[in-house]
Amino acid sequence: MGCDTPARGTPVQNTPGRNGRAPDVLGSRCAGIGDEAATDLEGQIAAVRALGWRRIELRTVDGVALGDLSPARTRDLASRLAGAGLGVVCLDSRIGNWARPVTAPFDADVAELETLLEQCALLDCRFVRVMSYPNDGLPRVEWAATVIDRLSRLARRAEQAGVTLLHENCAGWAGESPARMLRLLDEVGSPALRLLFDTGNGVPYGYDARAVLERTLPYVEHVHIKDAVEDVRPSGPTTGERVRYVLPGDGRAGVADCLRTLLDTGYRGAFSLEPHLAVQPHTGRRDDDHAARLFVAAGRRLGTLLAQAGEATLRTAGAS
């Protein structure tokens, strides 16, 4: 299955190994969204294994979204991942994302979830990433009510299947503030809806990532790692973000601080790399010539940052 996680909402303290060094978070807890490294599954597997990791997060295979894969292709996917010795930490859906506003037909989300639940059973995965529907002209009260109703129904179905939906701090109603994230969890009221924290989303969305993390920590069960800086160049992106993605630790997302906060408070989930250096699904950018190299470089940087955060956590624990 995915990473070794405790019961939902239960804080677990990290402990040093027998040699007194930081825990081995690199080999056992790092993962990456495979299509950020390559379009084809073979390339995705190769990039993850080049980092020495044993976990992968899936979004597309051969350019096809998971929700559109046939059962036969999913069985082939499961067989090839098992043969490569890779577990699956999360399946990334299109439910409620930047391409599916709140006015889009809900039937598409219901159908996609059913497909992903079958894939979760086959791949021994218990997490599905969702978002909370960008607005499309609805009054704000109606927008909120529709989002909560849709995610309540999806969460009930996921709970029946033993799967947890992870809401990402990204596109949609609840992605706009930690208060809305907490309200969403409260009003849905299901253990099958928890949070996915992405370190890099604060830069394009204009908030302090660590501040959001600190308010939502008890409900975070999965983490995406990326970093970015504001891009003020005339030739910069034209998508409205005006950001440039960089190696973890080189930007303004406070990745190192977020990692330290997570380890200090006992987070035991995966650290899943989504660097956006060569692949940005929301803008349509894809540079396959350099994707694998940049993915591996970002993964190595993540390993360095995690090692430093782990050592700092141990020093703090030893001084207390």
Q: In the predicted model, is pLDDT for residue 18 greater than 60? A: no
Q: Count the alpha carbons within 13 Å of 220 in the hemisphere toward its beta carbon.
A: 30
Which tens digit of pLDDT belongs to each residue from 252-310? Answer: 999 999 999 999 999 999 999 999 999 998 888 888 889 999 999 999 999 999 999 98
Which tens digit of pLDDT belongs to each residue from 197-223? Answer: 999 999 999 999 999 999 999 999 999
CB 245 within 8 A of CB 273: no
Residue 290 carries which side chain, given as an amino acid letter?
A: H
Q: In the predicted model, is pLDDT for residue 238 greater than 80? A: no
CA distance readout (Å), 25 to 5, 150, 167, 245, 249: 13, 35, 23, 24, 17
The token duo for 176 is: 């706009």
The predicted pLDDT at position 315 comes to: 74
The predicted pLDDT at position 284 comes to: 81
SS3 212: helix
List the one residue out of 133, 143, 257 whose CA is nearest residue 200. Answer: 257
The predicted pLDDT at position 115 comes to: 98
CA atoms of 275 and 303, how far apart (whole Å):
13
Q: In the predicted model, is pLDDT for residue 95 greater than 50? A: yes
Which tens digit of pLDDT belongs to each residue from 248-263? Answer: 999 999 999 999 999 9
Please list the alpha-helical segments (H only) found in 51-201: 71-84, 106-123, 140-161, 178-188
Q: Work out the number of other CB atoms within 10 angstroms of the CB of residue 52.
A: 12
The predicted pLDDT at position 255 comes to: 98
Q: In the predicted model, is pLDDT for residue 316 greater than 70? A: yes
Mean residue pLDDT across the chain? 89
CA atoms of 175 and 201, how far apart (whole Å):
10
The predicted pLDDT at position 16 comes to: 36
Phi/psi of residue 197, each to 5°? -105, 125
The predicted pLDDT at position 12 comes to: 31
Which tens digit of pLDDT belongs to each residue from 179-192? Answer: 999 999 999 999 99
Q: How does 54-65 read in b/e, with b if 16+ C-beta sit within 10 Å?
A: bbbbbbbbeeeb
H or E element, residue 234? none
CATH fold, domain 25-315, is: TIM Barrel (3.20.20)
- Stretch 117-133: mean pLDDT, rounded? 98
Domain boundaries, the chain: 25-315
- Stretch 140-162: mean pLDDT, rounded? 98
The token duo for 149 is: 């109703």
Comparison of pLDDT for 231 and 34, the residue scoring more: 34
CA atoms of 212 and 179, how far apart (whole Å):
9
Percent above pLDDT 70 for the chain: 87
SS3 16: coil
- Stretch 76-86: mean pLDDT, rounded? 98
SS3 258: helix
Q: Are strands 227-230 and 243-246 parallel, antiparallel or unpaired?
A: antiparallel
* Neighbouring residues of 314: CB distance < 8 A, sequence distance ≥ 6: 16, 20, 21, 22
The predicted pLDDT at position 24 comes to: 56
Q: In the predicted model, is pLDDT for residue 1 greater than 50? A: no
Given pLDDT bands bounded at 50, 70 and 90, which one contains residue 20? very low
Comparison of pLDDT for 242 and 71, the residue scoring more: 71
Q: Work out the number of other CB atoms within 10 angstroms of the CB of residue 236.
A: 13
CA atoms of 212 and 218, how far apart (whole Å):
12
